[in-house]
């Protein structure tokens, strides 16, 4: 059996020897690194989504509706508070303006100049008043069998 | 697209570097907690909350429970709503933490370390119901701005601490004192150190109640950071915004406290009732004191399918601000007829009261179960929305769950 193996041995060119040596070295080095650091490591997902990605008309990072004025709103409104606060509210033009005035008066919001109209137009168009009545029916009921 | 990456767990510093951001929550992170990325902090892991809690806002943090999560007789941390007005304080040191007592109407301004408070004054434990003044805001029409709470901004945990009145007596209260105001360590959203996110208070009469605590423990453990570690004022039965977290100062005032969110329209309702959508001047708004009568069906979870002929057991809690709950009625026919549930007495004043009932349904079909509590003054919950107010406070309309008999 040994003789047979010797006869079948392939003779490598020197260049292949170097490649194999490098490759083996890399594997061994990698194994050492893994053994030393492996047990202390945790796999973590890191979100490197495009921060300006738009999907289905929604700006993914903030959840805001994509429309004229979006970037102005992101720049001026989400520095201090979350975009979630905008999304869950519904107001008319005067109320959105009053909200901005309140933030300028008491919360440290800077003067918006011409951008105020851009922002309020965006908010009034995309987050408008909705009629709810005095008590809407129960909705979004998830039915389940109670044992 | 998400890519996967390997990071060393040994140092949060290197993690910050890797993420390219400074992790401001470094010192708050529970052991073994790894953030995905700065903007992807997992609040459930960080604040030890149940994943079924609903995040309304992440800057500042605001999170509410759902009715069925509040079924415990004493609310555990994992189901306790979060209402923050500012950013969490950073670098809290329990050992050097001090409470100052000052103000126009203090006899001797004093400071107490936590060790002083714990050793000098008697400890008391009470179960205290805390409800956000804006709980239920989402139903108002026209809508009011702010966090759109549904029904989950209420809790009733056990708080341990010293009585505020004992500490006030130690510093001395002048005859002209009418109010107390708190100051706390949280940061304003703008990070402007001269601004306070919130600094509210209560009349002296509320401050002097036995159950008004300077609390250092919740449910027998250190108060979780998000709920005010290491020291919190707790005023049960009043808007929870009067129960200041990360408490640093109590000011004894010779006038109504004028701190942040005491004035204007904050935590105030029209002194005289108004039509929906009416504009109300600030001077016509009155400070909310005791919270109104309210109840929640916490079992079963809405959406239960039950077999015809089976009885349904329901249970829940009722509370009435400063008052006691005298009756809990339920209806399965939209308020046409009511039956009385069995109602327990409170564990102590200002704790919610538990109710239970067994329901039989006449036939198959869709039903709603409505719960309506009545307080010791004979005031009941409305079945539709109560009076509209500009800021959407005090919605104590009946809680409703849906069931189907199949």
CB contact under 8 A, B188 and A130: no
Tens-binned pLDDT, residue by residue, of chain B (406 aa): 333 333 333 344 444 444 444 445 555 555 555 554 444 678 899 999 999 999 999 889 999 999 999 999 999 999 999 999 999 998 899 999 999 999 999 999 999 999 999 999 999 999 999 999 999 999 999 999 899 999 999 999 999 999 999 999 999 999 999 999 999 999 999 889 999 999 999 999 999 999 999 999 999 999 999 999 999 999 999 999 999 999 999 999 999 999 999 999 999 999 999 999 999 999 999 999 999 999 999 999 999 999 999 999 999 999 999 999 999 999 999 999 999 999 999 999 999 999 999 999 999 999 999 999 999 999 999 999 999 999 999 999 999 999 999 9
- Asked if A44's CB is within 8 angstroms of B368's CB, the reply is no
CB–CB of B264/B363 below 8 Å? no
Residue among A30, A61, A88, A137 with most chain B CBs within 10 A, to mutate: A88
Mutation pick from A46, A95, A133 vs chain B, by most beta carbons of B within 10 Å, is: A46
Q: If you measure CA to CA, which chain A residue comes closest to B403?
A: A143
Q: Could you tell me if B302 and B68 are in contact, meaning their C-beta atoms sit under 8 angstroms apart?
A: yes
Is B305 within 8 Å of A41 when comparing Cβ atoms? Answer: no
Extents of the domains making up chain B: 3-57, 62-287, 294-405
Task: Tell me yes or no: is domain B62-287 CATH 3.90.420.10.
Answer: yes
The closest alpha carbon to B15, from B46, B38, B41, B47, belongs to B38
> Taking 90 as the threshold, does the pLDDT of residue A27 lie above it?
no
Instruction: Check whether A41 has a pLDDT greater than 90.
Output: no
pLDDT value for A49: 67
State the pLDDT at residue A134: 86
Closest residue to A146, CB basis, from B147, B305, B383: B305
Chain A nearest C-alpha distance from B140 (Å):
8
Among the partner residues B140, B302, B312, nearest to A141 by beta-carbon distance: B302
Domain boundaries defined on chain A:
54-126
pLDDT tens readout for residues B16-40: 444 444 445 555 555 555 554 444 6
For range A36-57, the mean pLDDT: 63
Query: For residue A140, what are the β-bridge partners?
Result: none
Q: Find, among B296, B298, B291, the residue nearest to B328 by Cα.
A: B296
Task: Say yes or no for a CB contact (<8 Å) between A46 and B142.
Answer: no
End-to-end Cα separation, chain A, in angstroms: 71
Chain B residues in contact with A40 (beta carbon < 8 A): 8-10
Residue B324 structure tokens? 């006691």
Residues A60-72, mean pLDDT to the nearest whole number: 95
Q: Does A105 lie at the interface with B, CB-CB under 8 angstroms? A: no
What residues of chain B lie within 8 A of the CB of A88, using their CB?
A: 56-57, 138, 147-148
The size of the A-B interface in CB pairs under 8 A is 128
CATH for B294-405 is: 2.60.40.650
Q: Kindly report the three-state secondary structure assignment for every residue of chain A.
A: CHHHHHHHCCCCCHHHHHHHHHHHHHHHHHHHHHHHHHHHEEEEEEECCCCCCEECCEECCCCEECCCCHHHHHHHHCCCCCHHHHHCCCCCHHHHHHHHHHHHHHCCCCCCCCHHHHHHHHHHHHCCCCCCCCCCCCCCCCCEECC
Residues in chain B within 8 Å Cβ distance of A42: 6-7, 9, 34
Q: Does domain A54-126 have CATH number 3.90.228.20?
A: no
> Taking CB atoms and an 8 Å limit, are A81 and B57 in contact across chains?
yes
pLDDT band, very low/low/confident/very high, at A31 (cuts 50, 70, 90) = low
Residue A74: list chain B partners with CB under 8 A: none
CA distance A94 to chain B (A): 12
In the prediction, which pLDDT does A51 show?
83
3-state secondary structure of B167: helix
Q: Is the Cβ pair A40, B5 closer than 8 Å?
A: no
pLDDT value, residue A106? 87
Contacts of B306 in chain A (CB under 8 A): 146
Judging contacts by C-beta atoms under 8 Å, the chain B residues touching residue A84 are 55-58
Angstrom CA distances, B137 to B58, B290, B298, stand at 18, 17, 20
With contacts defined as CB-CB under 8 Å, which chain B residues touch A135? 139, 383-385, 397
User: Is the CB of residue B314 less than 8 Å from the CB of residue B329?
Assistant: no
To which H or E segment does residue B61 belong? Answer: strand B61-64
- Report pTM: 0.82
Interchain pair B36, A46: CB under 8 A: yes
Per residue in A85-132, pLDDT tens?
Answer: 999 999 999 989 999 999 999 888 999 999 999 999 999 999 998 888
A-chain residues within 8 Å CB-CB of B146? 89
- Nearest CB partner across the interface for B384, out of A45, A46, A134: A134
Is there a contact between B7 and A41 if contact means CB atoms under 8 Å apart? Answer: yes
Kindly list the residues from chain A whose CB atom is less than 8 angstroms away from the CB atom of residue B384: 134-135
**Are A40 and B385 a contacting pair at CB < 8 A?**
no
Residue A144 at interface with chain B, using a CB cutoff of 8 Å = yes
């Amino acid at each position: 059996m040994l003789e047979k193996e010797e006869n079948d041995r392939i003779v490598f060119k020197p260049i292949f020897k170097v490649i194999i040596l490098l490759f083996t070295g890399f594997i061994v080095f990698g194994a050492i690194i893994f053994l030393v650091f492996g047990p202390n490591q945790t796999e973590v997902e890191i979100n490197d989504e495009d921060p300006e990605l738009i999907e289905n008309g929604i700006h993914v990072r903030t959840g805001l509706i994509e429309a004229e004025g979006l970037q102005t709103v992101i720049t001026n409104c989400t520095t201090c508070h979350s975009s979630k606060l905008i999304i869950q509210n519904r107001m008319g033009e005067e109320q959105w303006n009053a909200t901005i005035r309140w933030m300028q008066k008491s919360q440290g919001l800077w003067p918006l100049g011409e951008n105020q109209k851009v922002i309020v137009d965006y908010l009034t168009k995309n987050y408008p008043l909705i009629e709810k009545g005095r008590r809407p029916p129960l909705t979004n009921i998830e039915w389940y069998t109670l044992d | 697209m998400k890519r996967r990456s390997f990071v060393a767990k040994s140092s949060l510093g290197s993690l910050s570097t890797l993420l390219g951001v400074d992790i401001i929550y470094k010192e708050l992170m529970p052991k073994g907690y790894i953030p995905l990325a700065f903007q992807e902090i997992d609040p459930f892991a960080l604040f030890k909350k149940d994943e079924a809690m609903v995040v309304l806002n992440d800057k500042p943090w605001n999170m509410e429970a759902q009715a069925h999560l509040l079924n415990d007789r004493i609310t555990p941390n994992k189901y306790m709503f979060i209402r923050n007005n500012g950013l969490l304080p950073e670098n809290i040191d329990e050992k050097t933490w001090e409470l100052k007592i000052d103000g126009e109407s203090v006899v001797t301004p004093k400071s107490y370390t936590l060790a002083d408070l714990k050793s000098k004054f008697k400890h008391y434990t009470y179960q205290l119901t805390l409800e956000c003044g804006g709980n239920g805001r989402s139903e108002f029409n026209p809508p009011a701005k702010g966090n759109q709470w549904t029904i989950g901004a209420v809790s009733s945990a056990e708080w341990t601490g010293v009585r505020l009145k004992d500490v006030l007596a130690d510093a001395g209260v002048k005859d002209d004192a009418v109010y107390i105001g708190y100051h706390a360590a949280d940061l304003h959203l703008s990070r402007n150190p001269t601004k306070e996110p919130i600094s509210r208070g209560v009349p002296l009469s509320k401050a002097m109640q036995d159950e008004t605590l300077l609390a250092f423990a919740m449910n027998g453990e250190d108060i979780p950071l998000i709920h005010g570690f290491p020291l919190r004022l707790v005023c049960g039965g009043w808007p929870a915004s009067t129960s200041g977290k990360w408490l640093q100062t109590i000011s004894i005032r010779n006038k109504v406290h004028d701190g942040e969110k005491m004035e204007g329209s904050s935590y105030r309702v029209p002194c005289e009732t108004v039509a929906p959508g009416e504009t109300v001047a600030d001077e016509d708004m009155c400070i909310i004191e005791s919270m109104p009568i309210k109840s929640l069906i916490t079992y079963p979870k809405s959406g239960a399918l039950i077999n015809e002929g089976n009885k349904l057991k329901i249970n829940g809690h009722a509370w009435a601000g400063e008052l006691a709950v005298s009756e809990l009625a339920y209806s399965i026919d939209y308020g046409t007829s009511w039956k009385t549930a069995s109602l327990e007495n409170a564990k102590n004043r200002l704790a919610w009261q538990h109710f239970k009932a067994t329901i039989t349904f006449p036939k198959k079909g869709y039903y709603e179960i409505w719960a309506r509590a009545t307080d010791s003054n004979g005031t009941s919950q409305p079945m539709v929305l109560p009076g509209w107010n500009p800021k959407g406070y005090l919605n104590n309309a009946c809680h409703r769950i849906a069931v189907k008999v199949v």
